[in-house]
């Protein structure tokens, strides 16, 4: 049964009849997406890394639908203090959406939560001797929000920026005040290649028996359930349902979503790691 929603509710210019048509075409086997992508195929995107000289790491990503995101990572040396929340406060994430008065706290939270995966080992790399530590500021600038949900765009750009973040090398002893190597060439990566990389969040929409990655706004509108799946290396570290979606979903479908997400994420990671190597 097709969902009965008006265009006001879904935010798409499609009429109920058109939405119903779209819903039917997505439930077919094999499904037909409006832009003739395969279920796991992403829309074309443009990405570049290391674009800003005044940051420790930066990245820019532009999606075909006009979504544009810039992420800058800056690191500052901070004294350890007992009063603050401890290592969990060492990474601060801010999302600024262009044209909106207030920062979007919810989006920031989504990214920040998934960054602090326990056991990723990143907090250990921020320790500077006995009394100091690095404080990492991840500033996400959403220049033009994409037509669909921005979570994927934000986390993919953040991933790219963090992968390219380098911190100056510490040359002082643990008990001393920190002194750093002058040579940027000796900088240490925040996320070394052989360690657990930063996580990404993928959006998955479930329609009938089928699941689709990187859904467009129209596909989100007719989906039964919209899931944001956070993946770190080869493990799923978080699943949550997002607003939208009509009706629930069966347990088996969620299981399939998680299984397929891992496979898709591996492809995403390998293509993102290729960014910047070509030039």
Nearer to another protein, 52 or 196 (CB): 52
- What is the pairing mode between strands 210-213 and 225-232? unpaired
- The separation between the first and the last C-alpha atoms of the chain, rounded to the nearest angstrom, is 50
Shortest separation between residue 48's beta carbon and another protein, angstroms = 12
Which residues, 6+ apart, have CB-to-CB distance to 35 below 8 Å?
A: 43, 216
Of 53 and 278, which has the nearer Cβ to another protein? 53
CB of residue 225 vs another protein: minimum separation in angstroms?
A: 28
Q: Supply the DSSP symbol for 198.
A: P
Least Å distance, CB 55 to another protein, is 5
**CB nearer another protein, residue 141 or residue 262:** 141
Angstrom distance (rounded) from CA 182 to CA 170:
10
Question: Least separation, in Å, of the C-beta of 258 and another protein?
Answer: 33
Kindly state the smallest distance separating residue 140's Cβ from another protein, in Å: 10
| CB distance 230 to 237 below 8 Å | yes
Which CB atom, from 190 or from 207, has the smaller least distance to another protein? 190
- Which is closer to another protein, CB of 53 or CB of 185? 53
Q: How far is the CB of 99 from another protein (least distance, A)?
A: 7
Where does this chain bind another protein (CB under 8 A)?
51-55, 58, 62, 66-68, 70, 72-74, 76, 94, 96, 98-99, 101, 137, 139, 141, 143-144
Alpha helices by DSSP H, listed for 88-236, are 105-115, 122-125, 151-163, 217-222
Residue with smaller CB distance to another protein, 58 or 152: 58
251: left (phi > 0), else alpha (psi -120 to 50), else beta?
alpha
Angle (CA) 52-102-149 rounded to 5° is: 75
Whole-Å CA distances, 144 to 65, 97, 147, 154: 10, 8, 9, 12
């Amino acid at each position: 049964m097709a969902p009965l929603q008006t265009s006001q509710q879904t935010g798409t210019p499609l009429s109920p009849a058109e939405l119903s048509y779209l819903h039917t075409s997505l439930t077919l086997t094999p499904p037909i997406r409006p832009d003739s992508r395969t279920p796991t195929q992403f829309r074309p995107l443009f990405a570049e890394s290391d674009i800003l000289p005044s940051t420790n790491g930066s990245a820019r990503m532009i999606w075909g639908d006009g979504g544009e995101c810039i992420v800058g990572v800056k690191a500052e040396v901070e004294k350890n203090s007992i009063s603050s929340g401890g290592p969990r406060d060492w990474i601060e994430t801010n999302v600024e959406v262009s044209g909106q008065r207030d920062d979007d706290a919810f989006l920031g939270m989504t990214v920040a939560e998934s960054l602090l995966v326990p056991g990723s080992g990143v907090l250990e790399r921020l320790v500077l001797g006995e009394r100091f530590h690095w404080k990492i500021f991840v500033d996400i600038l959403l220049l033009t929000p994409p037509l669909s949900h921005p979570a994927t765009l934000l986390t993919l750009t953040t991933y790219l920026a963090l992968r390219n973040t380098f911190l100056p090398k510490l040359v002082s002893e643990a008990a001393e005040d920190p002194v750093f190597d002058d040579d940027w060439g000796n900088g240490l990566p925040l996320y070394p290649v052989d360690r657990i990389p930063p996580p990404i969040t993928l959006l998955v929409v479930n329609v009938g028996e089928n699941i689709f990655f990187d859904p467009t706004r129209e596909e989100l509108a007719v989906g039964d359930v919209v899931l944001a799946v956070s993946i770190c290396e080869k493990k799923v570290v978080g699943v949550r349902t997002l607003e939208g979606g009509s009706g629930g979903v069966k347990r088996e479908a969620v299981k399939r979503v998680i299984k397929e997400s891992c496979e898709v994420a591996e492809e995403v990671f390998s293509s993102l790691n290729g960014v910047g190597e070509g030039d």
